[in-house]
Chains A and B, each alone.
Chain A
Amino acid sequence: MPHSGAPGRSAVSSGASLQGLMASREIVVACGPGGVGKTTTAAAAAAMAAVRIGGKVLVVTVDPARRLADALGLEGIGNIERQVPPEAFAAAGVKPAGELWAAMLDTKESWDALIATHAPDARTRDEILANPLYRNISGRFVQSHDYIAMERLFEIHATGNYDLIVVDTPPTRNALDFLDAPERMADFFSSRLLRWLIVPYRSKLVNFASKPFYQVADRILGTQFLEDIAQFFILFQTMYDGFVERARSVQRLLAERCTSFIVVSTLEAVPLREAEFFAEALTDRKLHLGAIVLNKVLPAYLRDPGGAAVAERLRDHSGEVAGLLSGAMEGDEQQLQRVLAEIGQSYVDYRVVAEREAEQQAELGTVPEALVSVPFFDTDIYDLTGLLLLGSRLWGD
């Protein structure tokens, strides 16, 4: 079994369960700082929902580890949703009650699809797709990832094909970026400044060279670049209404009763602080904070007072203990002494970290409906068996 620690002992859940949450919502968004196992947690929760709750469950992930992508059959398929083959469940020894589907978010492809939907005609569509600024925004622009993830979610939800959609969010510079992205996108395209900036390019009647603002803009950015910007926005204006309307709908969907958020973190100080900030932000926005999932929590036996006393004894009196063991252990007594001292010291070291983590957890400011601790898995999760094992911890089995 690829897990360690005392099963069950360190898994704590309070009040409502993740299972209840996932059975009662249509959309569950996993968010939180990077590097805490967000993607794996989203996949594991979705897999468990497919097994235990049933129905059609889709997990949309952003950037899964290659082996996880392989396990979900996601390799190289981009935006298309694929069913995780029932054989994969059979191999893991489970008969799922429902179906598990998976899709990966391809930002560029999603943007192009969005343009195709909203462009008034084929010519405008092609011009936008060819605009250097658009190519930059869709390919590299960090905030565009945030927006498109939510936009994709909206689109998939609207198809009504799935009973539950679990979304893994992109790592953001600022935890709040993707929450604000639809609103910002709408503001951006309705800005007065935007109109101001493109005026000279719309009407040749305005001698823009005489206006200090354009003079400065031109000196800094160069005419070609300003023209690219202007062309981009003029083209985009044809899609303005559809686009802004869409961004608002996405925003509304996130706030609806059918949507809940899970904040994933570890008990390390920096990610935890970020996660708490995030949980507060969700609450402030009246979005539904369904659960906080704490990953990689060290096993509770590391905080056992008796264990600490034994460890200190082993570390400080290894010679004496080795002597007492001479009847039960063959071999080099000095080597045994070194091993005893080493395991004593190791326990004391890990205990410091386990205590620190426990303290961090106790100080958690925001109390969600469900708080789930998942023990440290000492090997990586790379197949459905591993996902379901993690999932059963999430469920609090």
Chain B
Amino acid sequence: MTGLLDRRLVFVTGKGGVGKTTVATALALFASERGRRTLLCEVDAKGDVASYLETGPTAFAERQVLPDLFAMSMDTEASLREYLKLNLRIPVVGRIGPLARAFDFVATAAPGVREILTVGKLCYEVRERHYDLVVVDAPATGHIVGQLAAPQAINELVKVGLIRSQTDWMVEILADPARTGLVIVTTPEEMPVNETMELAGRVERETNVELASVVVNRVLPELFGRSEEEVFDALCRPEPARALDTAVEGDAGPVLAAARLAVTLRRTRAGHLERLRAGLDRSVPMLYLPYLFTRFHGLRTIRQVARSLGEELGF
């Protein structure tokens, strides 16, 4: 399978709250640090990319934020404008007002139009080789299939016309596993794992895009091995626990309870991880990122995640 950083277009998706944007940003940062000219595109423009990179707001026009790292946020209307400028060369571009309204309307009516303008812009950047790598902070699991399948769906809906001919090359880029890949971010919890397995199936059936990796975020550290756990269990019995209180000249209860919590959490999550591994095709690489016990979520965290990601990718 083509390495993640050797591809040109990587979509990063995941269930809400699993750290999709964090992983997309860290991946882009890592690639740029390895000298790849990288574009990071935030599709749901919530502004998280900007805040994680501790930089000003991003816009449709890409902007360099760090050496070799460029950031943009998707805006389908701006994408339409750019598309018309590049493709139609007609005077209507100057009077975008009515057209934009019509577009808004058609886009609401015809599913796939907004999606195709998003995917179209990204594929365009790939085709024109403006960057070595385009990393997409894509929509959450519920919407990604619609987005990735949009060019194909439009191909089926629209029999002729400019869009039809335009979607052919997009389908070609998306379907090429040497160039395009999807990363699903998940956490070792029940619902995210379920959704990841379901999504992997849908991506396989309903899109032409290859699942390049599953990133498991927030993996809890293993506190101790089996024999050490026996020691811990012994320590929790009434008499040793009292001796511990005396030894530390305080109440060790909270510390023991916290350790018990950590052990149980880790164990429940390990079960979900096993389920995930068993439910995915063996050929799909799984990358593990540790849970970060940090105070804030900013560039420092992103750098830590990027480092872990790099190690998992074998760098």
Residues of A within 8 A of B (CB): 4-6, 33-36, 65-67, 132-133, 136-137, 140-143, 170-171, 173, 188, 191, 193-194, 197, 212-213, 216-225, 228-229, 232-233, 266, 268-271, 299, 301-302, 304, 306-307, 309-311, 313-314, 321, 324-325, 327-332, 335-336, 338-339, 342-344, 346-347, 349-353, 355-356, 376, 378-380
**Is the Cβ of A34 less than 8 Å from the Cβ of B16?**
yes
A136-B110, A141-B111, A224-B159 as given contacts; A343 in contact with B232, CB under 8 Å:
yes
- B164: chain A residues at CB < 8 Å are 222
Taking a contact as CB atoms closer than 8 A, the residue among B88, B157, B262, B295 that contacts A356 in the complex is B295
**Is the Cβ of A142 less than 8 Å from the Cβ of B232?**
no
- B248: chain A residues at CB < 8 Å are 310, 313-314, 321
How many Å from the CB of B273 to the closest CB on chain A? 14
Tell yes or no: B313 within 8 A of A by CB: no
**Complex: A143 Cα to B162 Cα, angstroms:** 27
How many Å from the CB of A199 to the closest CB on chain B? 13
**Complex: A66 Cα to B190 Cα, angstroms:** 10
- A212: chain B residues at CB < 8 Å are 92
**Is the Cβ of A34 less than 8 Å from the Cβ of B15?**
yes
**Complex: A136 Cα to B253 Cα, angstroms:** 58
**Is the Cβ of A342 less than 8 Å from the Cβ of B240?**
no
**Complex: A133 Cα to B241 Cα, angstroms:** 68
Number of interface residues, chain B, beta carbon within 8 A: 77
- B146: chain A residues at CB < 8 Å are 140, 142
The 28 sampled A-B contact pairs (Cβ below 8 Å) are A4-B264, A35-B17, A35-B18, A35-B191, A66-B194, A136-B111, A136-B157, A137-B109, A137-B111, A191-B105, A217-B102, A219-B161, A220-B162, A222-B164, A301-B253, A304-B251, A307-B251, A325-B243, A325-B247, A329-B231, A329-B240, A342-B223, A343-B256, A346-B259, A346-B262, A347-B258, A352-B295, A378-B265
Taking a contact as CB atoms closer than 8 A, the residue among A143, A349, A378 that contacts B268 in the complex is A378
Main DSSP-derived SS at the B contact region: helix
Interface residue ranges of B89-132 to A (CB < 8 Å): 90, 92, 98-99, 101-102, 105-106, 108-112
Main DSSP-derived SS at the A contact region: helix
Tell yes or no: B315 within 8 A of A by CB: no
- B111: chain A residues at CB < 8 Å are 136-137, 140-142
Taking a contact as CB atoms closer than 8 A, the residue among A34, A221, A229, A268 that contacts B161 in the complex is A221
- B18: chain A residues at CB < 8 Å are 35
Interface residue ranges of B272-314 to A (CB < 8 Å): 293-295, 297
**Is the Cβ of B294 less than 8 Å from the Cβ of A225?**
no
**Complex: A379 Cα to B272 Cα, angstroms:** 11
How many Å from the CB of B226 to the closest CB on chain A? 12
- B143: chain A residues at CB < 8 Å are 142, 173
Closest 8 CB pairs of A and B: A34-B16, A222-B161, A35-B17, A307-B254, A328-B243, A324-B247, A343-B259, A349-B293
**Is the Cβ of B261 less than 8 Å from the Cβ of A314?**
no
**Complex: A314 Cα to B264 Cα, angstroms:** 21
How many Å from the CB of A280 to the closest CB on chain B? 16
**Complex: A113 Cα to B250 Cα, angstroms:** 66
